Structure 1
Amino acid sequence: MLKTTLLFFATALAEIIGCFLPYLWLKKGAGAWLLLPAAVSLAVFVWLLTLHPAASGRVYAAYGGVYVATALLWLRVVDGVKLTAFDWLGAGVALAGMLIIVAGWRTS
């Protein structure tokens, strides 16, 4: 389960970076050259999703929980926004949901 969770976090980072770089270009005046690493990052994101052994619907559902937690950590570390207790609680609930879904992979 640890390997799957770490793979989900890597997947989430690739997706967030792939979306953050165009945001910098469109909203913050950064160079259009950022679109190239953004495209590479999104391609890595898609590739990482294919490394999971379960059916894609379950992978996406479980990945959603990790994405929520990773996005909040990105908000804190990169954007410098202080997270609230509700943010942390929501991340915990999302991760618990991911763990329940992944644990069920073994029974199906």
Structure 2
Amino acid sequence: MTAIVYVAAALAEIAGCFSFWMWLRQDKPVWWIAPGIASLCLFAWLLTLVDSDAAGRAYAAYGGVYVAASLAWLWAVEGARPDRWDLIGAGVCLAGAAIVLLGPRSA
């Protein structure tokens, strides 16, 4: 369930930020930010659903998923194929996220 929440949160955050990008950098109308704000609110709510004992740990692990999802967005939405360095970097980030989220904790 955590993986699904992280992926949904990443898509919501990227979509929200992308709407601001399009408004500010691609001269889209100001109304483009309205769905972006809603999407960013959804992102924040989704992160509260992660089963973690600490918010900071949940956010840190999310960072790896965000990197990988951003590269998927790059390819799917922006039409730019990630190169091998992008993929290696995303793999390293996902490995780090797994360590943060799944590493054994002492009581």
Instruction: Give the TM-score of the pair, scaled to structure 2.
Output: 0.91
The AA in structure 1 aligned to 2:49 is: L
Q: For residues 20 and 100 of structure 1, what CA distance do their matches in structure 2 show? A: 29
The AA in structure 2 aligned to 1:62 is: A
Equivalent in the alignment of 1:63: 62
Equivalent in the alignment of 1:31: 29
- Cα deviation, 1:26-79, whole Å, max 9, x if unaligned, reads 111212111111110010011011111211110111000000000111111111
Q: For residues 102 and 79 of structure 1, what CA distance do their matches in structure 2 show? A: 30
The answer for unaligned runs of 5 or more in structure 2 is none
Equivalent in the alignment of 1:77: 76
The answer for unaligned runs of 5 or more in structure 1 is none
Shift of 1:9: 0.9
Q: For residues 104 and 32 of structure 2, what CA distance do their matches in structure 1 show? A: 38
Shift of 1:97: 1.2
Counting matched residue pairs gives 106
Equivalent in the alignment of 1:101: 100
The AA in structure 2 aligned to 1:83 is: P
Root-mean-square deviation over aligned CA pairs? 1.5
Q: For residues 35 and 105 of structure 2, what CA distance do their matches in structure 1 show? A: 36
Identity of aligned residues (%): 48
Q: Give the secondary-structure state (helix, strand or coil) at the position aligned to 2:78.
A: coil
Which contiguous aligned blocks of 4+ residues in structure 1 show a shift greater than 3 angstroms?
105-108
Q: For residues 89 and 4 of structure 2, what CA distance do their matches in structure 1 show? A: 19
Instruction: Give the TM-score of the pair, scaled to structure 1.
Output: 0.90
